[in-house]
Amino acid sequence: MHPDVTHAALVALPDELLGEKSCAFIVSRNPQLKPIALRRHLMGLGIAEYKLPDRIRLIDAMPLTAVGKIDKKQLRALLAVAPTT
């Protein structure tokens, strides 16, 4: 994991061509962290490019359900609100 990342979640999104694409939601302690820096870090760890998330979205806090689990439904809803990289 990148040293500036405090929380991460990966959600699947429907895609007409591929069936599904992935989006990583990241909470960082560094507000200047850029998605491209995360991609470079993961590739530097030896992760193949095809295994990287299709999108990376930086968020301020991870939404949680009433029982404290990551709320992936809310994460998907965030994609409709703002663009991703």
Summarize pLDDT for 10-36 with one digit per residue, the tens. Answer: 999 888 898 899 999 999 999 899 999
Which residues make Cβ contacts (< 8 Å) with residue 75, sequence separation at least 6?
Answer: 9, 11, 23, 25, 59, 63
pTM: 0.86
Q: Could you tell me the domains of the chain?
A: 5-80 (3.30.300.30)
Taking the chain, what is the end-to-end CA distance rounded to the nearest angstrom?
A: 19
Kindly state the percentage of the chain with pLDDT values over 70. Answer: 95
Strands ordered across the beta sheet of 5-15: 5-15, 19-28, 55-59
Q: Which amino acid is at 8?
A: A
For the chain, give the mean pLDDT: 91
What six digits make up the tokens of 38?
Answer: 């995360």
